[in-house]
Structure 1
Amino acid sequence: MSSNVPKVFISYSHDNQSHKKWVLELAQRLRNAGVDAILDQFRVSLGDDLGQFMEENVSDSDRIIMVCTETYVTKANDGLGNVGYEKMIMTSEYMREVDSKKVIPLIRQTGTHNVPIFLSSRMYINFSRDDEFELQFDNLLREIHQAPLFKEPPVGNNHSSQSSPILLRV
Protein backbone atom coordinates (compact mmCIF):
# COMPACT_ATOMS: atom_id res chain seq x y z
CA MET A 1 0.00 0.00 0.00
CA SER A 2 1.18 3.49 -0.74
CA SER A 3 0.45 4.95 2.72
CA ASN A 4 -0.87 4.07 6.15
CA VAL A 5 -4.39 4.88 4.97
CA PRO A 6 -5.34 2.61 2.06
CA LYS A 7 -7.14 4.33 -0.82
CA VAL A 8 -10.02 2.24 -2.21
CA PHE A 9 -12.15 3.19 -5.22
CA ILE A 10 -15.70 1.81 -5.23
CA SER A 11 -17.08 0.91 -8.65
CA TYR A 12 -20.80 0.15 -8.85
CA SER A 13 -23.85 0.56 -11.05
CA HIS A 14 -26.70 2.90 -10.15
CA ASP A 15 -29.27 0.09 -10.20
CA ASN A 16 -31.80 1.89 -7.96
CA GLN A 17 -31.93 4.22 -4.95
CA SER A 18 -31.83 1.34 -2.48
CA HIS A 19 -28.63 -0.02 -4.02
CA LYS A 20 -27.03 3.45 -4.17
CA LYS A 21 -27.84 3.86 -0.46
CA TRP A 22 -26.28 0.46 0.36
CA VAL A 23 -23.08 1.42 -1.49
CA LEU A 24 -23.01 4.83 0.24
CA GLU A 25 -23.34 3.15 3.66
CA LEU A 26 -20.56 0.69 2.77
CA ALA A 27 -18.28 3.60 1.83
CA GLN A 28 -19.12 5.45 5.05
CA ARG A 29 -18.35 2.33 7.11
CA LEU A 30 -15.04 1.87 5.29
CA ARG A 31 -14.07 5.50 5.92
CA ASN A 32 -14.95 5.14 9.62
CA ALA A 33 -12.68 2.07 9.71
CA GLY A 34 -9.58 3.85 8.41
CA VAL A 35 -10.03 3.42 4.65
CA ASP A 36 -10.03 6.35 2.22
CA ALA A 37 -13.08 5.08 0.33
CA ILE A 38 -13.51 6.96 -2.94
CA LEU A 39 -17.12 7.18 -4.09
CA ASP A 40 -18.78 9.33 -6.74
CA GLN A 41 -21.52 10.24 -4.26
CA PHE A 42 -18.86 11.96 -2.10
CA ARG A 43 -16.75 13.62 -4.77
CA VAL A 44 -18.61 14.22 -8.04
CA SER A 45 -20.71 17.36 -8.52
CA LEU A 46 -22.75 18.69 -11.41
CA GLY A 47 -20.42 19.79 -14.20
CA ASP A 48 -17.51 17.58 -13.10
CA ASP A 49 -15.67 15.43 -15.64
CA LEU A 50 -16.84 11.92 -14.73
CA GLY A 51 -14.34 10.25 -17.09
CA GLN A 52 -11.43 12.03 -15.43
CA PHE A 53 -12.76 11.10 -11.98
CA MET A 54 -12.91 7.41 -12.95
CA GLU A 55 -9.50 7.37 -14.69
CA GLU A 56 -7.66 9.11 -11.86
CA ASN A 57 -9.20 7.06 -9.07
CA VAL A 58 -8.93 3.66 -10.75
CA SER A 59 -5.24 4.36 -11.42
CA ASP A 60 -4.38 6.04 -8.10
CA SER A 61 -6.20 3.71 -5.71
CA ASP A 62 -4.50 0.91 -3.81
CA ARG A 63 -7.54 -1.35 -4.28
CA ILE A 64 -10.80 -1.25 -6.23
CA ILE A 65 -14.04 -2.74 -4.94
CA MET A 66 -16.34 -3.80 -7.77
CA VAL A 67 -19.86 -4.09 -6.35
CA CYS A 68 -21.25 -6.82 -8.61
CA THR A 69 -24.97 -6.95 -9.26
CA GLU A 70 -26.55 -8.48 -12.34
CA THR A 71 -26.84 -4.99 -13.86
CA TYR A 72 -23.17 -4.24 -13.09
CA VAL A 73 -21.95 -7.52 -14.59
CA THR A 74 -24.01 -7.02 -17.76
CA LYS A 75 -22.73 -3.46 -18.22
CA ALA A 76 -19.12 -4.50 -17.56
CA ASN A 77 -19.25 -7.47 -19.94
CA ASP A 78 -21.02 -5.48 -22.67
CA GLY A 79 -18.90 -2.34 -22.19
CA LEU A 80 -21.93 -0.16 -21.45
CA GLY A 81 -22.03 3.20 -19.68
CA ASN A 82 -19.72 4.27 -16.88
CA VAL A 83 -19.34 0.69 -15.62
CA GLY A 84 -18.12 -0.37 -19.07
CA TYR A 85 -15.66 2.53 -19.10
CA GLU A 86 -14.30 1.66 -15.64
CA LYS A 87 -13.99 -1.99 -16.70
CA MET A 88 -11.94 -0.89 -19.74
CA ILE A 89 -9.58 1.08 -17.46
CA MET A 90 -9.27 -1.88 -15.04
CA THR A 91 -8.65 -4.34 -17.88
CA SER A 92 -5.74 -2.21 -19.10
CA GLU A 93 -4.32 -2.26 -15.55
CA TYR A 94 -4.51 -6.06 -15.56
CA MET A 95 -2.74 -6.19 -18.92
CA ARG A 96 0.18 -4.28 -17.39
CA GLU A 97 0.25 -6.40 -14.23
CA VAL A 98 -1.38 -9.79 -14.79
CA ASP A 99 -0.97 -11.06 -11.22
CA SER A 100 -2.47 -7.91 -9.69
CA LYS A 101 -4.81 -8.29 -6.73
CA LYS A 102 -5.96 -4.69 -7.03
CA VAL A 103 -9.61 -5.48 -7.77
CA ILE A 104 -11.82 -7.01 -5.08
CA PRO A 105 -15.03 -8.38 -6.61
CA LEU A 106 -17.86 -7.90 -4.11
CA ILE A 107 -20.98 -9.97 -4.79
CA ARG A 108 -24.13 -8.09 -3.87
CA GLN A 109 -26.88 -9.92 -5.74
CA THR A 110 -28.58 -13.00 -4.38
CA GLY A 111 -28.74 -16.20 -6.38
CA THR A 112 -26.02 -16.41 -8.98
CA HIS A 113 -22.63 -15.11 -7.97
CA ASN A 114 -21.62 -13.53 -11.23
CA VAL A 115 -18.61 -11.35 -11.76
CA PRO A 116 -17.47 -9.74 -15.00
CA ILE A 117 -15.76 -12.18 -17.38
CA PHE A 118 -12.31 -10.66 -16.88
CA LEU A 119 -12.56 -11.46 -13.15
CA SER A 120 -14.08 -14.94 -13.43
CA SER A 121 -10.97 -16.65 -12.03
CA ARG A 122 -10.60 -14.23 -9.11
CA MET A 123 -11.68 -14.81 -5.53
CA TYR A 124 -14.58 -12.64 -4.44
CA ILE A 125 -16.23 -11.58 -1.20
CA ASN A 126 -19.91 -12.39 -0.78
CA PHE A 127 -22.16 -9.61 0.55
CA SER A 128 -25.37 -11.11 -0.86
CA ARG A 129 -26.76 -11.97 2.59
CA ASP A 130 -27.52 -8.99 4.81
CA ASP A 131 -27.41 -11.21 7.92
CA GLU A 132 -23.69 -11.85 7.23
CA PHE A 133 -22.78 -8.21 6.61
CA GLU A 134 -20.65 -7.76 9.74
CA LEU A 135 -18.64 -10.94 9.13
CA GLN A 136 -18.00 -10.06 5.50
CA PHE A 137 -17.22 -6.44 6.35
CA ASP A 138 -14.58 -7.63 8.82
CA ASN A 139 -13.12 -9.91 6.12
CA LEU A 140 -13.08 -7.01 3.65
CA LEU A 141 -11.31 -4.73 6.13
CA ARG A 142 -8.69 -7.39 6.86
CA GLU A 143 -8.02 -7.73 3.13
CA ILE A 144 -7.76 -3.97 2.56
CA HIS A 145 -5.53 -3.43 5.61
CA GLN A 146 -3.45 -6.54 4.76
CA ALA A 147 -4.21 -8.05 8.18
CA PRO A 148 -5.18 -11.68 7.55
CA LEU A 149 -7.10 -13.59 10.20
CA PHE A 150 -4.62 -16.46 9.94
CA LYS A 151 -0.89 -16.09 9.37
CA GLU A 152 1.09 -18.89 7.84
CA PRO A 153 3.56 -20.24 10.42
CA PRO A 154 7.21 -20.62 9.45
CA VAL A 155 8.42 -24.02 8.30
CA GLY A 156 10.18 -25.86 11.13
CA ASN A 157 13.44 -27.79 11.03
CA ASN A 158 13.55 -31.09 9.19
CA HIS A 159 14.52 -33.51 11.96
CA SER A 160 14.94 -36.41 9.54
CA SER A 161 17.72 -34.67 7.64
CA GLN A 162 20.23 -35.36 10.41
CA SER A 163 22.13 -38.62 10.08
CA SER A 164 20.80 -41.40 12.23
CA PRO A 165 23.38 -43.84 13.63
CA ILE A 166 20.99 -46.71 12.98
CA LEU A 167 20.67 -45.88 9.29
CA LEU A 168 24.43 -45.53 8.86
CA ARG A 169 25.04 -49.15 9.99
CA VAL A 170 22.80 -50.68 7.35
Structure 2
Amino acid sequence: MPKVFISYSQESDAHKARVLALAQALRRDGMEVELDQFHAHRILDWPRWCLEQLRKADFVLCVCTREYRDRVYGDVPASTGNGVHWEGSVLDDEFYDTKGNRRILPLLLMSESGDSIPDFMRGWTYCRVTEPEMSDAGYVQMLHILLAEPVVIPVPIGSRVKLPPSSPSPTTPSASGTSGRTSGGGAAGKSPSRKWWLIGLAVLLLAGGWWIGRGNESVQADHGSIAIGRDNTGPVAVGGGAQTEK
Protein backbone atom coordinates (compact mmCIF):
# COMPACT_ATOMS: atom_id res chain seq x y z
CA MET A 1 0.00 0.00 0.00
CA PRO A 2 1.73 3.23 -1.14
CA LYS A 3 2.14 6.02 1.42
CA VAL A 4 1.18 9.37 -0.08
CA PHE A 5 1.65 12.88 1.27
CA ILE A 6 -0.17 15.83 -0.28
CA SER A 7 1.57 19.21 -0.39
CA TYR A 8 -0.70 22.17 -1.19
CA SER A 9 -1.42 25.78 -0.28
CA GLN A 10 -4.36 26.68 1.95
CA GLU A 11 -5.31 29.61 -0.24
CA SER A 12 -9.10 29.32 -0.02
CA ASP A 13 -11.84 27.18 1.49
CA ALA A 14 -12.87 25.97 -1.98
CA HIS A 15 -9.33 24.85 -2.77
CA LYS A 16 -8.99 23.13 0.60
CA ALA A 17 -12.24 21.25 -0.14
CA ARG A 18 -10.96 20.06 -3.53
CA VAL A 19 -7.73 18.78 -1.98
CA LEU A 20 -9.64 17.01 0.79
CA ALA A 21 -11.90 15.31 -1.77
CA LEU A 22 -8.81 14.12 -3.63
CA ALA A 23 -7.25 12.71 -0.44
CA GLN A 24 -10.44 10.88 0.53
CA ALA A 25 -10.80 9.38 -2.95
CA LEU A 26 -7.23 8.08 -2.85
CA ARG A 27 -7.80 6.49 0.57
CA ARG A 28 -10.97 4.90 -0.79
CA ASP A 29 -8.92 3.45 -3.65
CA GLY A 30 -6.28 1.87 -1.43
CA MET A 31 -3.69 4.59 -0.75
CA GLU A 32 -2.40 5.49 2.71
CA VAL A 33 -2.76 9.27 2.33
CA GLU A 34 -1.63 11.87 4.85
CA LEU A 35 -3.08 15.40 4.81
CA ASP A 36 -2.78 18.19 7.35
CA GLN A 37 -6.59 18.50 7.47
CA PHE A 38 -6.79 15.03 9.06
CA HIS A 39 -4.87 16.38 12.10
CA ALA A 40 -6.42 19.80 12.57
CA HIS A 41 -7.75 18.73 16.00
CA ARG A 42 -4.26 17.97 17.36
CA ILE A 43 -1.49 20.10 18.83
CA LEU A 44 1.51 19.45 16.58
CA ASP A 45 4.91 20.83 15.72
CA TRP A 46 3.86 21.40 12.13
CA PRO A 47 7.28 21.87 10.53
CA ARG A 48 8.50 18.68 12.18
CA TRP A 49 5.30 16.84 11.22
CA CYS A 50 5.65 17.95 7.59
CA LEU A 51 9.29 16.87 7.47
CA GLU A 52 8.36 13.46 8.88
CA GLN A 53 5.63 12.99 6.24
CA LEU A 54 7.98 14.03 3.44
CA ARG A 55 10.56 11.51 4.58
CA LYS A 56 8.15 8.59 5.05
CA ALA A 57 6.07 9.05 1.91
CA ASP A 58 6.50 6.82 -1.11
CA PHE A 59 5.00 9.63 -3.20
CA VAL A 60 4.54 13.35 -2.68
CA LEU A 61 1.63 14.89 -4.59
CA CYS A 62 2.16 18.62 -5.13
CA VAL A 63 -1.14 20.33 -5.94
CA CYS A 64 0.17 23.20 -8.05
CA THR A 65 -1.55 26.58 -8.36
CA ARG A 66 -0.21 30.06 -9.03
CA GLU A 67 -0.34 30.71 -5.29
CA TYR A 68 1.48 27.46 -4.53
CA ARG A 69 4.23 28.34 -7.03
CA ASP A 70 4.61 31.87 -5.63
CA ARG A 71 4.84 30.56 -2.08
CA VAL A 72 7.50 28.02 -3.10
CA TYR A 73 9.50 30.86 -4.71
CA GLY A 74 8.96 33.13 -1.70
CA ASP A 75 7.19 35.71 -3.87
CA VAL A 76 4.59 36.44 -1.16
CA PRO A 77 4.67 38.44 2.07
CA ALA A 78 6.86 36.95 4.79
CA SER A 79 3.83 36.26 6.95
CA THR A 80 2.14 34.14 4.26
CA GLY A 81 2.79 30.64 3.03
CA ASN A 82 5.72 29.71 5.27
CA GLY A 83 4.76 26.04 5.29
CA VAL A 84 4.63 25.69 1.49
CA HIS A 85 7.88 27.64 1.12
CA TRP A 86 9.60 25.30 3.56
CA GLU A 87 8.18 22.16 1.89
CA GLY A 88 9.24 23.48 -1.50
CA SER A 89 12.78 24.01 -0.25
CA VAL A 90 12.95 20.42 1.04
CA LEU A 91 11.68 19.04 -2.29
CA ASP A 92 14.03 21.24 -4.31
CA ASP A 93 16.96 19.92 -2.26
CA GLU A 94 15.83 16.37 -2.99
CA PHE A 95 15.91 17.01 -6.75
CA TYR A 96 19.41 18.43 -6.35
CA ASP A 97 20.74 15.67 -4.10
CA THR A 98 19.33 12.72 -6.05
CA LYS A 99 19.92 14.24 -9.51
CA GLY A 100 16.49 13.00 -10.48
CA ASN A 101 12.96 12.35 -9.34
CA ARG A 102 11.41 9.06 -8.29
CA ARG A 103 8.44 10.11 -6.17
CA ILE A 104 7.39 13.76 -6.60
CA LEU A 105 4.32 14.12 -8.80
CA PRO A 106 2.92 17.57 -9.66
CA LEU A 107 -0.88 17.74 -9.93
CA LEU A 108 -3.04 20.28 -11.75
CA LEU A 109 -6.67 20.38 -10.66
CA MET A 110 -9.44 21.37 -13.03
CA SER A 111 -8.16 23.82 -15.69
CA GLU A 112 -5.12 25.09 -13.79
CA SER A 113 -2.36 26.39 -16.09
CA GLY A 114 0.85 24.40 -16.52
CA ASP A 115 2.79 27.55 -15.59
CA SER A 116 1.73 26.91 -12.01
CA ILE A 117 4.26 24.08 -11.70
CA PRO A 118 7.49 25.32 -10.06
CA ASP A 119 10.52 25.30 -12.35
CA PHE A 120 12.39 22.49 -10.60
CA MET A 121 9.37 20.18 -11.07
CA ARG A 122 8.65 21.23 -14.63
CA GLY A 123 9.62 18.77 -17.33
CA TRP A 124 8.78 15.75 -15.17
CA THR A 125 5.58 13.73 -15.46
CA TYR A 126 2.51 15.48 -14.09
CA CYS A 127 -1.21 14.67 -13.94
CA ARG A 128 -4.28 16.81 -14.53
CA VAL A 129 -7.25 15.70 -12.45
CA THR A 130 -10.70 17.08 -13.15
CA GLU A 131 -12.64 14.83 -10.79
CA PRO A 132 -11.23 12.25 -8.33
CA GLU A 133 -13.23 9.46 -9.94
CA MET A 134 -12.37 6.37 -11.99
CA SER A 135 -14.19 7.96 -14.94
CA ASP A 136 -11.55 10.72 -15.04
CA ALA A 137 -8.54 9.89 -17.26
CA GLY A 138 -6.15 12.06 -15.24
CA TYR A 139 -7.15 10.43 -11.97
CA VAL A 140 -6.69 6.95 -13.47
CA GLN A 141 -3.27 7.99 -14.81
CA MET A 142 -2.28 9.09 -11.32
CA LEU A 143 -3.39 5.73 -9.86
CA HIS A 144 -1.27 3.86 -12.42
CA ILE A 145 1.75 5.87 -11.30
CA LEU A 146 1.10 5.44 -7.58
CA LEU A 147 0.48 1.71 -7.94
CA ALA A 148 3.32 1.22 -10.45
CA GLU A 149 0.94 -0.58 -12.81
CA PRO A 150 1.65 -0.13 -16.54
CA VAL A 151 -1.02 1.32 -18.78
CA VAL A 152 0.23 -0.65 -21.82
CA ILE A 153 2.00 -4.00 -21.52
CA PRO A 154 4.58 -4.65 -24.29
CA VAL A 155 4.55 -8.02 -26.05
CA PRO A 156 7.52 -10.35 -25.41
CA ILE A 157 10.57 -9.82 -27.63
CA GLY A 158 10.60 -12.43 -30.39
CA SER A 159 13.36 -13.90 -32.53
CA ARG A 160 15.41 -11.52 -34.57
CA VAL A 161 14.02 -11.13 -38.07
CA LYS A 162 16.26 -12.05 -41.04
CA LEU A 163 15.97 -9.54 -43.86
CA PRO A 164 16.90 -10.31 -47.50
CA PRO A 165 19.45 -8.01 -49.17
CA SER A 166 17.89 -5.09 -51.01
CA SER A 167 20.33 -5.37 -53.98
CA PRO A 168 23.00 -7.83 -55.26
CA SER A 169 26.50 -7.50 -53.87
CA PRO A 170 28.90 -5.67 -56.24
CA THR A 171 31.25 -8.72 -56.20
CA THR A 172 28.53 -11.30 -56.91
CA PRO A 173 27.70 -12.16 -60.57
CA SER A 174 24.10 -11.42 -61.47
CA ALA A 175 21.62 -14.11 -62.56
CA SER A 176 22.03 -13.13 -66.26
CA GLY A 177 25.75 -14.02 -66.17
CA THR A 178 26.82 -10.64 -67.56
CA SER A 179 27.96 -8.74 -64.47
CA GLY A 180 31.63 -8.76 -63.47
CA ARG A 181 34.49 -11.07 -64.42
CA THR A 182 35.66 -14.25 -62.79
CA SER A 183 38.79 -14.11 -60.67
CA GLY A 184 40.76 -16.25 -63.16
CA GLY A 185 40.58 -13.60 -65.89
CA GLY A 186 38.06 -15.65 -67.90
CA ALA A 187 35.18 -14.44 -70.01
CA ALA A 188 32.54 -12.34 -68.29
CA GLY A 189 29.80 -14.36 -66.66
CA LYS A 190 31.38 -17.82 -67.27
CA SER A 191 32.30 -20.07 -64.39
CA PRO A 192 35.85 -21.60 -64.24
CA SER A 193 34.53 -25.14 -64.96
CA ARG A 194 32.71 -24.00 -68.10
CA LYS A 195 35.80 -22.10 -69.29
CA TRP A 196 38.04 -25.18 -69.07
CA TRP A 197 35.36 -27.31 -70.75
CA LEU A 198 35.34 -24.92 -73.72
CA ILE A 199 39.16 -24.94 -73.90
CA GLY A 200 39.19 -28.78 -73.91
CA LEU A 201 36.59 -28.88 -76.69
CA ALA A 202 38.67 -26.50 -78.81
CA VAL A 203 41.76 -28.65 -78.33
CA LEU A 204 39.84 -31.77 -79.40
CA LEU A 205 38.51 -30.03 -82.49
CA LEU A 206 42.00 -28.89 -83.51
CA ALA A 207 43.47 -32.35 -82.92
CA GLY A 208 40.69 -33.98 -84.92
CA GLY A 209 41.26 -31.67 -87.88
CA TRP A 210 44.99 -32.41 -87.87
CA TRP A 211 44.35 -36.16 -87.82
CA ILE A 212 41.84 -36.02 -90.69
CA GLY A 213 44.35 -34.02 -92.74
CA ARG A 214 46.99 -36.62 -92.17
CA GLY A 215 44.56 -39.35 -93.20
CA ASN A 216 44.00 -37.66 -96.55
CA GLU A 217 47.72 -37.72 -97.26
CA SER A 218 48.44 -41.36 -96.48
CA VAL A 219 46.35 -44.50 -96.16
CA GLN A 220 47.89 -47.80 -95.23
CA ALA A 221 46.55 -50.69 -97.38
CA ASP A 222 46.82 -54.39 -96.66
CA HIS A 223 49.01 -55.15 -99.82
CA GLY A 224 51.19 -52.14 -100.05
CA SER A 225 51.29 -48.42 -99.55
CA ILE A 226 48.96 -46.22 -101.54
CA ALA A 227 49.34 -42.46 -101.35
CA ILE A 228 46.47 -40.38 -102.54
CA GLY A 229 47.60 -36.99 -103.72
CA ARG A 230 46.48 -34.24 -106.02
CA ASP A 231 48.09 -32.71 -109.09
CA ASN A 232 46.98 -30.00 -111.44
CA THR A 233 44.51 -32.24 -113.31
CA GLY A 234 42.82 -33.99 -110.38
CA PRO A 235 43.42 -36.74 -107.86
CA VAL A 236 45.90 -39.45 -108.70
CA ALA A 237 46.75 -42.68 -106.99
CA VAL A 238 50.37 -43.66 -106.52
CA GLY A 239 51.21 -47.24 -105.75
CA GLY A 240 54.23 -49.50 -106.28
CA GLY A 241 56.10 -46.67 -108.03
CA ALA A 242 53.44 -46.33 -110.83
CA GLN A 243 51.20 -43.30 -111.17
CA THR A 244 47.71 -43.61 -112.65
CA GLU A 245 44.96 -41.11 -113.11
CA LYS A 246 41.67 -41.73 -111.41
Task: Give me the TM-score of the superposition, normalised by structure 2.
Answer: 0.59
Larger Rg: 1 or 2? 2
The equivalent residue for 2:44 is 48
Runs of 5+ in structure 1 lacking a partner? none
- Larger mean Cα displacement after TM superposition, 146-155 or 85-94: 146-155
In structure 1, distance between residues paired with 2:20 and 2:113: 23
- Larger mean Cα displacement after TM superposition, 12-21 or 86-95: 86-95
Shift of 1:135: 1.9
How do residues 33-44 of structure 1 correspond to structure 2 at under 5 angstroms?
Answer: 33-44=29-40
CA contact (8 A) 1:68 1:109 kept: no
In structure 2, distance between residues paired with 1:56 and 1:43: 14
Runs of 5+ in structure 2 lacking a partner? 76-80, 173-246
SS of the residue 2:107 aligns to: strand
Whether 2:120 is the aligned partner of 1:118: answer yes
CA contact (8 A) 2:128 2:139 kept: no
How do residues 15-164 of structure 1 correspond to structure 2 at under 5 angstroms?
Answer: 15-78=11-74, 80-108=81-109, 110=111, 112-114=113-115, 115-127=117-129, 129-130=130-131, 134-160=136-162
Shift of 1:21: 0.8
CA contact (8 A) 2:61 2:104 kept: yes
Q: Which has the higher contact order (CA 8 A, sep 6+)?
A: 1
Task: Give me the TM-score of the superposition, normalised by structure 1.
Answer: 0.83
CA contact (8 A) 1:44 1:50 kept: no
Cα 1:45/1:88, change in 2 over 3 Å = farther
- Aligned CA RMSD, in angstroms, stands at 2.6
In structure 2, distance between residues paired with 1:104 and 1:21: 20
In structure 1, distance between residues paired with 2:4 and 2:149: 16
Seq. identity, %: 26
SS of the residue 2:113 aligns to: coil
Shift of 1:142: 1.0
Shift of 1:89: 1.0
Cα 1:104/1:157, change in 2 over 3 Å = same
In structure 2, distance between residues paired with 1:131 and 1:52: 29
Whether 2:5 is the aligned partner of 1:9: answer yes
In structure 2, distance between residues paired with 1:31 and 1:147: 17
Cα 1:99/1:131, change in 2 over 3 Å = closer
CA contact (8 A) 2:22 2:132 kept: no
SS of the residue 1:106 aligns to: strand
In structure 1, distance between residues paired with 2:100 and 2:52: 21
CA contact (8 A) 1:70 1:109 kept: no
In structure 1, distance between residues paired with 2:141 and 2:51: 27
Structure with the bigger percentage of strand: 2
Structure with the bigger percentage of helix: 1
- Larger mean Cα displacement after TM superposition, 80-89 or 61-70: 80-89
Shift of 1:152: 2.9
In structure 1, distance between residues paired with 2:73 and 2:44: 26
